[in-house]
Structure 1
Amino acid sequence: MLEKLIAYLDSIHARDPAPRSRWEILLYPGVWALVYHRAAHWLFEADLFFLARMVNHWSRMVTAIDIHPGAKIGKNFFIDHGFSVIGETAEIGDDVTIYQCVTLGGTNPTNGVGGKRHPTIGDNVIIGSGAQVIGPITVGPRARIGANAVVTDDVTEGATMIGLKARSTLVPAEQWLKEFLPYGTPCDDPCAPSRDCLEKLEAEMQALRAEVAELRGTSLPAQRSGTVD
């Protein structure tokens, strides 16, 4: 038990350089929220729903993190800061990191039957602050959800989702993905156009001008050096 606790605290320290010791990590609200959730989930699985809700209610008051007792959470889960909400049918894999003000929310069933309403989060996913992941969707392993993104569709493995409604950056993860990306949000835009890309676009524009000029029966005006119309 002690070895597992130490391994868990070390996994948090690997993602957060702020604490100076394991004792300091033990004061993190995200750690206590997970401890309370383990107890609440055990009661929930035993059909002791009222007691499970009592533990959940206490945890929400002291940690500012609301995890429904029914949510299933894997190993080394880390909520960095509070004010996050995780719904009843959410499923979270191993080594997942969530920042503040994240919602793993559910859809409203039109037939009145609960069912699977919340997202399934794969292993090693990072969800940035303020992100909203809504509905019974699947977020693939190693995916990154950028800050304030709103995700309502499945996310492929290794993708980075940004924006409202979230869109993929369309950059292969193996080209730039690091082992850990704070807040799930790259500080440098991986989609910024390169010089090669700009030169290719200029060549295509020249070809289009030539085609238009040919259709009009006119000659293509010479382009000024270093400028693009």
Structure 2
Amino acid sequence: MLGKLVRYLDSVVARDPAPRSRWEVLLYPGVWALFWHRVANRLFRARLFFLARAVNHLSRFLTAIDIHPGATIGRNFFIDHGFTVIGETAEIGDNVTIYQCVTLGGSNPTNGKGGKRHPTLEDNVIVGSGAQIIGPVTIGKRARIGASAVVTENVPEGATMIGVKARSTLVGAETYAKEFMPYGTPCKEPCEPAPNQRVDELEEQIEVLRAQVEALMAEREAAKSSEPACKGV
């Protein structure tokens, strides 16, 4: 038991440069939220639903993290900071990292039955702060969800998703090969098109339109000059 705890704390230290020791990690709200979830999940699987919910509410009060007792969570799960919501049928693999203000939310079942309503995050997924992953979608292994992205469709293995609605962006192989990428997206490479690039594209379009307008005006002037002059009466 102690060995598992030490390995878990070491996995957090490997992903977060802030703590100076394992003792600091023991104060993290995400660590305590996971601990209380393990307790609530056992009660939930034993069909002690009220007690499971009671533990869940206590955990949410203490940590500002709401993990439904029914959610399935693998090894070395790390929530960096709080204000995260994880739904009942969510499934989370091993070595998954989630930053603050993330929602693993459910979709509205049209058939009136609960079923699988929440996302599945496979191993080594990283979810940036403020991201919203909605519905029974699957986020493939080593995928990265950028900050504030909204994901409503399956994400392939190793993809990096950005924007609203989230779309894939290419990440170089040297970046993909890293063991861990903080915050889910590379810091030195722009994920969105550079503002100057977009301005240049608009200016090119304006120049094309200007040339077309000038050509039409020239044709009009030429047509006027070719018309015979009106003779006086």
Same topology, TM > 0.5: yes
Q: How many corresponding residue pairs? A: 192
TM-score (normalizing by structure 1)? 0.81
Tell me, what secondary structure is at the counterpart of 2:11?
helix
Quick check: 1:84–1:103 contact (8 Å CA) kept in 2? Answer: yes
Structure 2 CA distance for aligned equivalents of residues 187 and 24 of structure 1: 26
Structure 2 CA distance for aligned equivalents of residues 21 and 175 of structure 1: 30
- Listed as ranges, the gaps of 5+ residues in structure 1 are 194-229
Match of 1:9 in 2: 9
Match of 2:213 in 1: none
Q: Specify whether residues 114 and 164 from structure 1 end up closer, same or farther in structure 2 by C-alpha distance, changes over 3 A only.
A: same
Match of 1:58 in 2: 58
Quick check: 1:169–1:190 contact (8 Å CA) kept in 2? Answer: no
Match of 2:49 in 1: 49
Quick check: 2:161–2:169 contact (8 Å CA) kept in 1? Answer: yes
Quick check: 2:87–2:118 contact (8 Å CA) kept in 1? Answer: yes
Match of 1:120 in 2: 120
Structure 2 CA distance for aligned equivalents of residues 3 and 175 of structure 1: 33
Tell me, what secondary structure is at the counterpart of 1:168?
strand
Match of 2:132 in 1: 132
Tell me, what secondary structure is at the counterpart of 2:142?
coil
> CA offset at residue 176 of structure 1?
2.2
> CA offset at residue 192 of structure 1?
8.1
Structure 2 CA distance for aligned equivalents of residues 158 and 170 of structure 1: 10
> CA offset at residue 111 of structure 1?
2.2
Tell me, what secondary structure is at the counterpart of 1:156?
coil
| Alpha-carbon displacement from aligned partner over 1:160-210 (angstroms, at most 9, x marks no partner) | 0000100000346x34222211111221236689xxxxxxxxxxxxxxxxx
Listed as ranges, the matches of 1:198-217 within 5 Å are none
1:176 corresponds to 2:154: no
Quick check: 2:68–2:88 contact (8 Å CA) kept in 1? Answer: yes
Match of 1:92 in 2: 92
Tell me, what secondary structure is at the counterpart of 1:186?
coil
Extract structure 1 runs of 4+ deviating beyond 2 A.
188-193
AA partner of residue 99 (structure 1):
Y
Tell me, what secondary structure is at the counterpart of 2:9?
helix
AA partner of residue 53 (structure 1):
R
Structure 1 CA distance for aligned equivalents of residues 51 and 106 of structure 2: 23
Structure 2 CA distance for aligned equivalents of residues 16 and 123 of structure 1: 18
Structure 1 CA distance for aligned equivalents of residues 192 and 101 of structure 2: 28
Structure 1 CA distance for aligned equivalents of residues 108 and 192 of structure 2: 38
TM-score (normalizing by structure 2)? 0.80
Coordinate RMSD, CA, aligned = 1.3
- Listed as ranges, the gaps of 5+ residues in structure 2 are 194-233
Quick check: 1:78–1:96 contact (8 Å CA) kept in 2? Answer: yes
Structure 2 CA distance for aligned equivalents of residues 187 and 170 of structure 1: 14
AA partner of residue 35 (structure 2):
V
Tell me, what secondary structure is at the counterpart of 1:32?
helix
1:146 corresponds to 2:143: no
AA partner of residue 127 (structure 2):
I
Structure 1 CA distance for aligned equivalents of residues 113 and 104 of structure 2: 19
Match of 1:199 in 2: none
